[in-house]
A and B are shown apart, each in its own frame.
Chain A
Amino acid sequence: MSIRGKAFIAGAYEHPLRTIPNKTVQQVHAEVAAGALADAGLSFSDVDAFFCAGDAPGFGALSMAEYLGLQLTHIDNTETGGSSYLLHVQHAAEAIAAGHCHVALITLAGLPRSSGAGIGGAGRFGSAPEVSFENFFGLSIVAGYAMAARRHMYEFGTTSAQLAEIKVAAASHAQHNPHAFLQNTVSIEEVLQSKMVADPLHMLDCCVVTDGGGALVVVSPEVARKLTRQSVPVLGTGFAVKHVNNGRIDLTHTGAVVSGPRAFAEAGLTPSDIRYASIYDSFTITVLTTLEDLGFCEKGKGGEFVSEGALQAPFGKLPFNTDGGGLCNNHPSNRGGITKVIEAVRQLRNEAHPAVQVPNCQFALAHGTGGNLATRMGSATLILGQEV
């Protein structure tokens, strides 16, 4: 069975703020939930399924169902870091196709900026079996991605200037987003001259740290038909776990080598059909490796592919992250997954900023990478369209 056309994204909402003082995390979950439901033309009382991940406080969806006052027949706490919310869309579509629910609400929220928590993952890793073999070597999150970048450079000749092209493209989009955390354009030179955080990654190779959140409403075809708002059908989904594999890790690829082909097969599409791509951009190297792994270019050719404005909307070869992405706009709760879906929905509805709206955006892809490129990750690919 293919999921194509079995479920629709009817509502999408991104919190407008990037610093949210004096609010609780659950309160921001409720705000984005209300925003996405209003966008869909639905209300809290219509919701029969709720999805959240490690950023939600307490006992996952049980605590949040009670806080929000939802009456549910289906919940899902699947936690794969920043890719959780893309996987939630897949799981929601599956649950809808199975008849377990009709209106699924997915939320993400976090306050790492105003709480002073800074960079770092939500979730509970204290007793994980790998902790004592990884966590005591000063392995910052940036250093893990830096090792992946270093190996990519060694094997394929990728350069820091090529990685910088990715930030330059994201910044060129963020200048049009009045909510973006960083709205200034940057040059390759400015990226290369920014502070080295973990060699070879500079400060401007890294995503922003922001408060905020987002929500999605996924509905059955029957519900979608009754709504006036344009719904976006889920055409294809793919997921994969990549881990250290008994110490035989290869740092040059991600789980997208598996999730991408699965999603394309389910959608009956190929990379050349995709007009717009939301690519998880925790760091510039995340984008470069993912583009290769999804099949937008050959393995090792990502550096060439992203050069000369290929990722810049509206007329680049593959416009990406037109909201400014995690690199410039928003990386709420240190997780960029839900914003990837939200911007893809904007593009398909022709509601991106006019300066970055891709003409005739019939098919879009959103990809999430949760965890760490240097250890274990959940990779989730969604392919969405304007119609089934």
Chain B
Amino acid sequence: MSFLPLADVEVNAETQPFWDALKNNALLLPRCNSCTSVVWYPRAHCPVCFSTKLQWEEMSGRGTIYSYSIVTKGNGRWKDSGPYVVAYVELAEGPRILTNIVGVAPSDVYINMPVQAVFDSGDDDRVLLRYRPATTG
């Protein structure tokens, strides 16, 4: 686990499989059967072609950093977490998603850095999808 705060996310009927999969160290996203788009964030409707024929599919967990910021001082529960990295990671499958980069000094992070998924959990049920630098090979 990282040392960044976890959260009580809002799980609903549309997103339950996503959150359940994270607990099993897997990243599942809906793929549209009609236009083949990977859908982000998870929902019961394809926002590209408006089909409701979606299927959950496991993603590779790989991606690259599209952009990031090193936050010196956060707000609320993140008040004492800085410096930490907020980033958009572009998944190998297409979507750019908001996350944190962990397991690396913030000053070593760069745009296009290859990263891989971290299923960041504490000693309770909570888990968030974060990213760390990809191991080579």
Contact = CB atoms under 8 A, between A and B. Distances in A.
B25 interface: no
A147 B7 contact: no
- Give chain B's interface residue range (CB within 8 Å of chain A): 35 or more
Contacts of A135: 7
B21 interface: no
Contacts of A130: 41
B94 interface: yes
A196 B107 CA distance: 14
B56 interface: no
Interface in A209-232: none
A198 B70 contact: yes
Given A137-B100, A195-B72, A143 B111 contact: no
Nearest to A154: B111
Contacts of B47: 245-246
Which residue, B5, B6, B67, has most C-beta atoms of chain A within 10 A?
Answer: B67
B67 A147 contact: yes
B94 A138 contact: no
A150 interface: yes
Contact of A199 (B4, B5, B40, B72): B72
Given A132-B15, A133-B98, A138 B41 contact: no
A129 B43 contact: yes
B86 A137 contact: yes
B75 interface: yes
A121 to B, nearest CB: 13
Interface in B14-51: 14-15, 37-43, 47-48
Contact of B67 (A131, A132, A151, A201): A151
B67 A138 contact: no
A187 to B, nearest CB: 22
B15 A246 contact: no
Nearest to B111: A154
Nearest to B82: A138
Interface of B: 4-7, 9-11, 14-15, 37-43, 47-48, 66-75, 78, 81, 84, 86-88, 91, 94-100, 111, 128, 130
Given A146-B69, A244-B40, 19 more contacts: A132-B41, A133-B40, A133-B41, A138-B5, A138-B71, A138-B74, A138-B81, A138-B84, A140-B86, A143-B71, A151-B67, A151-B111, A154-B67, A197-B71, A197-B72, A199-B72, A246-B40, A249-B88, A251-B67
27 contacts: A129-B14, A130-B41, A131-B10, A132-B11, A132-B15, A133-B40, A133-B42, A133-B97, A136-B6, A136-B7, A137-B98, A138-B4, A138-B5, A140-B71, A143-B71, A144-B69, A150-B68, A150-B111, A196-B70, A197-B71, A198-B71, A201-B69, A246-B47, A247-B39, A247-B40, A248-B94, A374-B98
